[in-house]
């Protein structure tokens, strides 16, 4: 019989803890409300799917949210926070406190396979280790055009097979 201690984790420890916080939350409705909040730069994935939403809980009459930016100084964090507040306010939660937490640092390892699929369909690749595949044709024969893509957390690549340029989340 396999014991839990004998299992090899397939997720980073922080990501497993984040998923357990959600699964064991006494307020799943808060998580569900925030599932309507999309990333402003990749509007096909939610803040949770991106790995930015770390925790949400009810503290008295206030909702307390913890978010981790994909990149220090991410300008989209302001929009993410405003959108999260608006979603909660629409449901009657007017007192919202948001903590931006930099540690542990966000990593592409927190992206789920579903998040990666949605991103690729949108035209943004998520690296798999040090490899990236073209979201248009799937080729891994790609080249870095610039370490600076459309945002600070992305690099600009070009596919050698289909010649299309595309953004890749930096492997952090």
Residue-wise pLDDT for 75-129, tens only, equals 899 999 999 999 999 999 999 999 999 999 998 888 888 999 999 999 999 888 7
- Count the Cβ atoms, other than its own, within 10 Å of residue 8: 4
**DSSP symbols for 7-70:** PPPSS-HHHHHHHHHHHT-S-HHHHHHHTT-B-SSSTTSBHHHHT-EEEEEEETTEEEEEE--S
Q: Write down how long the chain is.
A: 172
Whether residue 97 sits in one domain with residue 36: yes
Whether residue 98 sits in one domain with residue 129: no
Is pLDDT of 2 > 70? no
Whether residue 86 sits in one domain with residue 33: yes
d(CA 129, CA 141): 15
Burial of 166 (0-12, 13-18, 19+ CB in 10 A): buried
**DSSP symbols for 91-132:** TT---EEEEE--SSPP-GGGS-HHHHHHHHHHTEE--BTTB-
Domain ranges, residue 72: 4-107
Give 126-148 pLDDT, tens digit per residue.
888 778 999 999 999 999 999 98
Name the domain boundary from 57, 82, 107: 107
User: Which tokens sit at 72?
Assistant: 């220090």
Query: CA torsion, points 157, 162, 163, 166, in degrees to nearest 10?
Result: -30
pLDDT band at 9 (very low <50, low <70, confident <90, very high): low
Q: Is residue 14 part of a domain?
A: yes
Q: Is residue 114 part of a domain?
A: no
């Amino acid at each position: 019989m396999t014991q839990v201690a004998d299992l090899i984790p397939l997720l980073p420890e922080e990501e497993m803890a984040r998923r357990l916080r959600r699964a064991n939350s006494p307020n799943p409705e808060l998580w569900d409300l925030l599932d309507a909040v999309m990333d402003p730069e990749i509007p096909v994935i939610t803040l949770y799917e991106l790995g930015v939403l770390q925790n949400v809980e009810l503290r008295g009459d206030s909702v307390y949210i913890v978010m981790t930016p994909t990149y220090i100084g991410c300008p989209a964090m302001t929009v993410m926070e405003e959108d999260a507040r608006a979603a909660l306010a629409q449901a009657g939660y007017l007192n919202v406190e948001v903590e931006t937490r930099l540690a542990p640092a966000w990593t592409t390892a927190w992206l789920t396979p579903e998040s990666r699929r949605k991103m690729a369909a949108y035209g943004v690749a998520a690296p798999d280790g040090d490899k990236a595949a073209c979201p248009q044709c799937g080729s891994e024969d790609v080249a870095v055009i610039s370490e600076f893509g459309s945002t600070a957390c992305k690099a600009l690549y070009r596919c050698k097979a289909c010649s299309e340029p595309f953004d890749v989340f930096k492997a952090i």
